[in-house]
Amino acid sequence: MTTRRFPVAVLSTLAFLVALVATAPADEGMYLYSAPPLKALQERYGFEPDGKWFEHLQKSSVRFPGGSGSFVSPAGLVMTNQHVGRGALSKLATKERNLVRDGFLAKTPADELKCHDMELVVLQGIEDVTDKVQAAVKPDMSPAEAEKARRAAMNTLEKKASDDKAGIRADVVTLYQGGQYHLYTYKKYTDVRLVFAPQAEAAHFGGDPDNFEFPRYCLDVCFFRVYEDGKPAQVVYHLSWSQAGAKEDDLVFVSGHPGRTSRLNTVGHLELFRDANYPLFLNLMRRREVTFKSWADRDEENARRAQADLLRVQNSRKLLVGMVAGLQDPAVLEKKRADEKALRAAVEKDADLKKQYGDAWEQVEESVKAQRKLYHPYQLFEGAGRGLGAPWAFNSELFSIARTLVRHADEKEKPNAERLREYRESNLPSLKQLLFSEAPIYEDFETLKLADSLSLLAEVAGGDAEPVKAVLAGKSPQARAAELVKGTKLRDVAARKALFDGGKQAVEESDDPMIRLARLIDGPSRDMRKQYEEKVEEPQTQAYAKISKAIFALKGKDQYPDATFTLRLAFGTVKGYEENGRKVGPFTTLGGAFAHAAEHGHREPFVLPKRFLDRKEKIDARTPYNFICTADIIGGNSGSPVVNRKGEVVGLIFDGNIQSLPADFAYTDTQARAVAVDARGIVEALRKVYDAPELAKELTGKK
Amino acid sequence: MTTRRFPVAVLSTLAFLVALVATAPADEGMYLYSAPPLKALQERYGFEPDGKWFEHLQKSSVRFPGGSGSFVSPAGLVMTNQHVGRGALSKLATKERNLVRDGFLAKTPADELKCHDMELVVLQGIEDVTDKVQAAVKPDMSPAEAEKARRAAMNTLEKKASDDKAGIRADVVTLYQGGQYHLYTYKKYTDVRLVFAPQAEAAHFGGDPDNFEFPRYCLDVCFFRVYEDGKPAQVVYHLSWSQAGAKEDDLVFVSGHPGRTSRLNTVGHLELFRDANYPLFLNLMRRREVTFKSWADRDEENARRAQADLLRVQNSRKLLVGMVAGLQDPAVLEKKRADEKALRAAVEKDADLKKQYGDAWEQVEESVKAQRKLYHPYQLFEGAGRGLGAPWAFNSELFSIARTLVRHADEKEKPNAERLREYRESNLPSLKQLLFSEAPIYEDFETLKLADSLSLLAEVAGGDAEPVKAVLAGKSPQARAAELVKGTKLRDVAARKALFDGGKQAVEESDDPMIRLARLIDGPSRDMRKQYEEKVEEPQTQAYAKISKAIFALKGKDQYPDATFTLRLAFGTVKGYEENGRKVGPFTTLGGAFAHAAEHGHREPFVLPKRFLDRKEKIDARTPYNFICTADIIGGNSGSPVVNRKGEVVGLIFDGNIQSLPADFAYTDTQARAVAVDARGIVEALRKVYDAPELAKELTGKK
């Protein structure tokens, strides 16, 4: 980057800009391991870790599907949250073995339960491929051509990086919304076994209500072990366990995979989130919460079958309520508006910046207009449907499987460079692991979910709209869902394999009703996706790339990018806060959990497992149980280890307090806090409550 | 009505029409007491009750706010459902006395608890005032003028009928959506005292889940007593208690106040309900359910404060899910479509009918287009806001009080004939009873409700819309709600009285923040209401009046009108049904309740009160507990007595099964059933569970 010289007027604007934009509270940031916050750590904490320190933490950090974790023993032991492991627990459960509710402990390695379809990855290398990716896009390309060219470049880079390398996953990561592209290579573990999970009552003690009343008392922890060649994997990088634990005002680090933030977004874009996208998604979550809850309440087996989905939905609902509330607070957007105004003014004043990046905001605005129209139909038919997720109108695992088979058959006939991202060569092993999972799919719960989502489709599109009629085939959503779920053979993994291997012909000849439905809507769905990519995503990629570059130019390159569910490092201080004049201390204790249960009359969700109550006398009541810190986290960070300056585990992130919910678009540290299980609480519970001294020893090295 | 002669073509069309429209299953109908179903009863059941039979039942029937009831002793004892009484129970409750959860029994008359603001009415007389009302509307009037003229006629008729008659309420009822107008006069009771309510666990045993799995086991009963001059009222008309109870295949009658049906509605109008109105309302109910539930779960006192609202919302949600599902079933609307086609064809074929009524369907269609646009904003600002209900965007009792005070101040300066309906002279006593109620209003729950609804407003209108900014006054919905609720003086009844009596000047000078908010939005809200009345309600009134008249002309006058929350008589047979090949018998027993609790492991909501379990041995397990019949009921019928041919109480309606939920737009008797508490179960529970032999004796005349 060339040095710039600014006239005085720009400098004073810049000072204003810095005051507004750059007064990020010092603990803000989800930093790339390739650009760690050396300066901030040095200036603020006098801490100067070397490259090895970072490498060790990076390679001890594990990515779970939807969450984070870490190696905590040389024998491949991985720690995460119970709620991150919940999907896997649920898939391993049976009517007789309710692992989510009742927990699990493998007494010996032979008892460890192999997960159906879990893939864990560990970041090994980072390569900046920005130039390669951006070079593929020529200035005169249409959005459609640009998207295609960029996709080809990314698919190809990934294939090259992972080809012939078993156990390696390669992803080109889009950073700064398009400002940079990095090629991440991961070591992959696919034989993952369950070692320990506590009862749901312990993991989520205090449940939803306690979110409004920190302190909390949750043992939201879960241990898995990765295997290679049928034996526990020997891992070089793993975290040691802190003996002393953390104390108030300690500097701590969080290494994990924050899922998504929108901090770079323009105010107009955030307003769209506030007024349309988030409320729509929130309505969907509330709808599912009510639908699942009333079904789950009918009997215990229903409750077991729905529990993972229900808890996930409740968690999303809680997050979205907080996010909408944050955006509806005029003070929050006013701050953003002032920042944006200052940034744009600074760009306008510099002829060069103005020429290169000055039109970015209008470009976003245009794309937001398109997004306002397309977001809902896109989500209904496509949206989360990438990979094996389900679009809003077809909330069914069997449908997702059907769509994956239908699309795979089409995509595999194309060259790798031209394929939809999720069908690129380098992603197929992961896709197959999910597609051929033997995890149970329950006919009744599937029917409930599909019926409710088909009903949503009919509501949104209108019961007489042609696509709705075609999808429902003259039946009510309920009857159609029942017919599809009952009629499909896709619950049988062999049937999936036959269609996967049989390719286009097999899929076209299949009379499986779910395959037929997926084929019926595949054309319109792909069109919808194409439109969304061309009118929303591609212009936003290009525009935000410009905005990022403008910021780099004005403020230097040490800005962290928005979260992308890739490995990041955050740091912060163990610290309480004040709320309505009341001091909330940084730590809770195990003894406090008992008191809290008693205060609430041991009513749901303040019921401690019987095992806790039985062993109350044995437990050291003073043991720290949960703590809070100012580190900058968000969903996806769940399961991240919290480490001290020595890189030792002092805790395990599992949540944020309600004040942290608007972290999507703004970090604050007045009240917002990350919430962690204390390492000392984990060990005390393993020893005294769960009779798991071996596991405690594996963590701490001590009996 | 003149006799008509039809050409042969019309007759054959008519035969077709009769086949489609008039093959109403014989037990269909919510009949007016002024036009009872004499013919159907005679033909189908050989039953020929005389005028006295009907008069006795009519004058023993009591209307509750939102529900039904009946006199069951000469000393003014009134029976209804616990869930109909729940609002009153909740208002009488305190932190120490949770009447909804724990129930209540007055050991002596002196222990009976006086309700805060309950008004019960008993229908005394019916006068057909169709000509008077319709004469007020001249053919050349605009919709606005027509609405105003009709309102003036109605307000005036009501004033005349109730003037100087203390304890009399008079309402002009719009029947057949405008086809007829009847003047109903009621005797009014305003001193109403609580005698008995069971625990919520008994009243709603099986809760939501059991709706999907009839049989059910609910003691959804509640007794009140009306007082006059401080003494139990002596009532001439009251129902006797059946000794024998009902048995399978018995003819039974339900006398109560079905709230609303839409059976006359055109298909286009129902499509609007299906695609817009119902889903919007359903989303609102789900939103509130989730908001209230997560708040109620925080602690026991929250649960008590929110319980009445939460249960009401859950009940509405259940109903709406069923209604949307019904309308989304193509078979249901196909039938309606065919009926409508046949009716329109018959009208088209008769020059006279065509001239008078032929444009009615297009008129509805036009109004539906307007309704599609106006429904949501109307509900947000006005809708349920008539009387003391709260509009969607201001879900707060304090706001409703403020609006009532603001509007009353304006309306009372106008002549009675010109006032908004709820401020007409004849309605003021009822309005004042609610307005000056000493029932508690909880600051925290009010804030929760208002914040959530302000947030809804911001979502729907957009956070930057001027009205939203004006309402929020630069604050977040949460902060603004807290400020309004904390700042208003309207929790104090004396403050309300001062503003009520002080009139326009007092209201205009008031600096109460809630009054100011109500004033701020009153102009736009009134405009919205005016638009809705002119573009939606008035054209629909006129169009449906035409359609009704066409039906009368083609099919005779013995058609029952859609439900209007006025007294109706339904009849039916005690009868089981088949579901998925399984027979569901008509009766459950008290013993079955114990078995059902055990089957579900005594988990919520299958927990019987301890009092039941303690007395299990004393209770006769064979006692019939709940039963079902084919009578045509809907929401509002809750609390209706079920009587036999002798007019004796055999049961108490409390719900419909899920198959009955689409009763809004179509009656069926294949599976749809009304669900009642059996009279024998009530008495057995009073005697054996509740130690209330005096009450049992008052009902049955026996110890």
Cα of B367 to nearest chain A Cα, Å: 18
Which residues of chain A lie closer than 8 angstroms to B280, CB-CB?
Answer: none
CA distance A512 to A490: 8
Contact (CB<8Å) B329/A458: no
Contact (CB<8Å) A603/B300: yes
Contact (CB<8Å) B207/A297: yes
B212 touches chain A (CB under 8 A): yes
Cα of A309 to nearest chain B Cα, Å: 16
Least CB–CB distance from B317: residue in A274, A290, A604 = A290
A415 touches chain B (CB under 8 A): no
Identify the pLDDT of residue A325: 94
A581 touches chain B (CB under 8 A): no
**Amino acid making up residue B636:** G
Q: Which of A292, A328, A392, A469 to mutate to test the interface with B (most CBs of B within 10 A)?
A: A328
Identify the pLDDT of residue B384: 62
Which residues of chain A lie closer than 8 angstroms to B605, CB-CB?
Answer: 297
B297 touches chain A (CB under 8 A): yes
Least CB–CB distance from B212: residue in A298, A329, A333 = A298
Least CB–CB distance from A329: residue in B271, B330, B476 = B476
Contact (CB<8Å) B476/A325: yes
Cα of A121 to nearest chain B Cα, Å: 36
Contact (CB<8Å) A477/B328: yes
Residues 586-615 of chain B whose Cβ lies under 8 A from any Cβ of chain A? 600-601, 603-605
Residue whose C-alpha is closest to residue A686's, from A106, A26, A36 = A106
Q: Which of B288, B290, B606 to mutate to test the interface with A (most CBs of A within 10 A)?
A: B290
CB B569 within 8 A of CB B253: yes
Which residues of chain B lie closer than 8 angstroms to A297, CB-CB?
Answer: 207-209, 604-605
Cα of A286 to nearest chain B Cα, Å: 6
Residues 5-64 of chain B whose Cβ lies under 8 A from any Cβ of chain A? none
Radius of gyration from C-alpha coordinates of chain A: 25
Cα of A297 to nearest chain B Cα, Å: 6
Contact (CB<8Å) B458/A328: yes
Q: Which of A294, A327, A452 to mutate to test the interface with B (most CBs of B within 10 A)?
A: A294
ipTM attached to this prediction: 0.90
CA distance A53 to B659: 65
Which residues of chain B lie closer than 8 angstroms to A207, CB-CB?
Answer: 297
Cα of A384 to nearest chain B Cα, Å: 22
Burial of A532-557, coded b for 16+ CB within 10 Å and e otherwise, reads bbbbbbbbbbbbbbbbbbbbbbbbee
pTM of the model: 0.91
Residue in A closest to B464 by C-alpha: A271
Q: Spell out, as residue ranges, where chain B has pLDDT lower than 70.
A: 1-25, 213-215, 384-388
Which residues of chain B lie closer than 8 angstroms to A329, CB-CB?
Answer: 475-476, 478-479
Whether residue B215 is preceded by a cis peptide bond, meaning omega within 30 degrees of 0, is yes
Q: What are the tokens at B48?
A: 């020929």
CA distance B635 to A665: 45
CA distance A644 to A140: 51
How far the first Cα of chain B sits from its last, in Å, is 55
Q: How many CB pairs under 8 A join A and B?
A: 118
Residue in B closest to A605 by C-alpha: B297
CA distance B218 to B657: 13
B208 touches chain A (CB under 8 A): yes
Residue in B closest to A213 by C-alpha: B298
CB A365 within 8 A of CB A268: yes
B288 touches chain A (CB under 8 A): no
Cα of B404 to nearest chain A Cα, Å: 29
Residue whose C-alpha is closest to residue B517's, from B483, B540, B552 = B483
B299 touches chain A (CB under 8 A): yes
Identify the pLDDT of residue B6: 36
The helix, strand and coil proportions of chain B, stated in percent and rounded to the nearest 5, come to: 55, 15, 30
Contact (CB<8Å) A459/B324: yes
Identify the pLDDT of residue B3: 35
B491 touches chain A (CB under 8 A): no
| Contacts (Cβ under 8 Å, ≥6 apart) of A115 | A88, A91, A92, A192, A193, A194, A224
A275 touches chain B (CB under 8 A): yes
Contact (CB<8Å) A297/B208: yes
A49 φ, ψ (degrees, to nearest 5): -70, 150
The total of other beta-carbon atoms located within 10 Å of residue B661's CB is: 21
Q: What are the tokens at B424?
A: 């007409």
Residue in B closest to A276 by C-alpha: B459
Residue in B closest to A459 by C-alpha: B275
Which residues of chain B lie closer than 8 angstroms to A380, CB-CB?
Answer: none
DSSP E strands, B455-573: 568-573
Cα of A298 to nearest chain B Cα, Å: 5
Q: Which of B277, B285, B294, B661 to mutate to test the interface with A (most CBs of A within 10 A)?
A: B294
Which residues of chain A lie closer than 8 angstroms to B476, CB-CB?
Answer: 325, 328-331
Cα of A294 to nearest chain B Cα, Å: 6
DSSP of A426-462: GGHHHHHHHHT------HHHHHHHHHHHHHHHHHHH-
Which residues of chain B lie closer than 8 angstroms to A462, CB-CB?
Answer: 271, 275
CA distance A569 to A557: 17
Least CB–CB distance from A328: residue in B286, B318, B477 = B477
Helix axes A513-520 and A522-532, enclosed angle (nearest 10):
40
Least CB–CB distance from B325: residue in A287, A318, A476 = A476
pLDDT digits (tens, 9 = 90+) for B372-382: 999 999 999 99
CB B609 within 8 A of CB B199: yes
A580 touches chain B (CB under 8 A): no
Contact (CB<8Å) B605/A297: yes
Q: Spell out, as residue ranges, where chain A has pLDDT lower than 70.
A: 1-25, 213-215, 384-388
B479 touches chain A (CB under 8 A): yes
